[in-house]
Amino acid sequence: MVFEIKMDFTRKARYVAGGNTTEPPAEATYSSVVSRESVRIGFLIAALNDLEICAADVTNAYINADCREKIWTVAGPEFGATEQGSVMIIKKALYGLKSSGAAWRALFATTLTDLGYTSTKANPDVWIRAQVKPDGFEYYEMVLVYVDDIMVLSHEPKQTMDAIASLYRLKEGSVGEPKIYLGANISKYQLPDGRECWSMTGRDYVKNAVKNVETTLEKEGMKLRSKADRPMPSGYRPEVDVSNELAPDLVTRYQGLIGVLRWACELGRVDILTEVSMLSSHNAMPRVGHLEAVYHIFAYLKKHENSTLVFDDAIPFMDERRFKSVSWKDFYGDVQEAIPPNMPKPRGNKVKMTTFVDSDHAGNLATRRSQTGILIFLNKAPIVWFSKRQNTVETSTFGSEFVAMRVATEVIEGLRYKLRMFGIPIDGPTDVLCDNQSVVTNSSVPESTLSKKHNSICYHRVREACAAETIRIAKEDTSTNLADLFTKPLPTPQR
């Protein structure tokens, strides 16, 4: 008998098989799920193409599939006097078995294939099917699958959901517009101009997480700070903290709380991303000061729990005069963006991608590594946020900014590939905004030469992407560069 607290803090108890005692082959146990990035893209596309969303949970999903392992048990008294003591062969994928998740995914994949959906190469748990609205508008219906959580995007999602309901029992009350998905609160949001789009907030998740931390601290005669106007205390640097190492039980607590905060970031709490990234690097050997800093983040969340992520489908205005029109042919030949040869034909309205990128040169006081910050919008919807310490030590701001630009280029190319494999048309190159003029010049002016040869890989990687018209780069003032939030803890007014 197992008891579990799920990501959204709901409780579940199950009588399960002892999968820890079996050793099935790895290929029989792997089971993927839809990525959070793909979910955010789905909410944007629903508004962009004027689609409805219908979600549902499959009740006891695993036991719909056949067991992939050779499992047997001896019947107990609950089987009755005539069967007690008999050897029983397990036929269905019981919860607890290592292969059950993969067995269910394979079964449900067959169902979606029979319904005419195709698994996308960029994310196997995003399924698409060509569809046409009554007015002739062509688009792709989408089905997003996270184990037994299903979300259908279509102008008539009920048709697909009814087909699924005819084969599997859906949880009572779960069918309809999503209200909770993967722990996030989902709702429609009305913009000032009267348009409606989807929004996501981790409000309930954050409230429950804060409540759990407060309950734990109360038992120890402690409580969260009453004042916390920013996620990390002013002037605190976790990399130079020399307080005592945590005891083993507190190390486990620290790692668990970091996991909770990382999931809060996935649900849209981008305002704590940098601080959580900095503290995550100390998971292996956290100190007392690090745990106190984590408690400070929860105190901040308690005071700032209503943060909403809005997937606005409006196309942003961009002054074309900010970008130089140049010829790269003499430097990189007829280089072109790599277009997947097996991508589906684009359908639906186009999306415009805009990226903010920044770095904090030598921000880590212990190693002098820089922090890369990236924020990517599709139209006006934030889709990707990234904050990570760089792998190299750069001797100049120029070097750290170019490393950040190279990382951003690779993230952009990955996202463009994903959009194309989802059948979503992309409007031109990605606009990349950076606040370092030297990097902008070196990246956008063909005849600009590189003086720091050790940055040549980043230099040519970015320039070739510009030549292929994958990206185009322009200068953004530091005060309006949104990626600045993901490079270092900012003062409260600036935040």
The chain-wide mean pLDDT, for the chain, equals: 94
Cα separation values, 484 from 270, 385, 481, Å: 12, 12, 6
The β-bridge partners of 197 are 189
Contacts of 205-210 spanning 24+ positions with Cβ under 8 A: 205/7, 205/8, 205/9, 205/263, 205/264, 205/267, 206/264, 206/269, 206/301, 206/305, 207/305, 208/8, 208/9, 209/9, 209/260, 209/264, 209/298, 209/301, 210/298, 210/301, 210/302, 210/305
Is the pTM for the entire model greater than 0.75?
yes
pLDDT at 7 over 70: no
pLDDT at 12 over 90: no
The pair of three-digit structure tokens given for residue 281, joined into one six-digit string: 């690097």
Burial of 479 (0-12, 13-18, 19+ CB in 10 A): exposed
Average pLDDT over every residue of 410-436: 98
pLDDT at 200: 96
What's residue 45's pLDDT?
98
Is-contact 444 324, C-beta < 8 A?
Answer: yes
Q: What is the DSSP string of 220-256?
A: TT----S--SSSS-TT--GGG--SPBPPHHHHHHHHH
Q: What is the pLDDT of residue 212?
A: 94
User: DSSP secondary structure string, 260-317?
Assistant: HHHHHHHTT-GGGHHHHHHHHTTSSS-BHHHHHHHHHHHHHHHHS---EEE-B-PPPP
**In 59-125, which ranges are E strands?**
72-74, 87-89, 118-119
pLDDT at residue number 426? 98
Helix axes 397-421, 437-444, angle to 10 degrees: 60
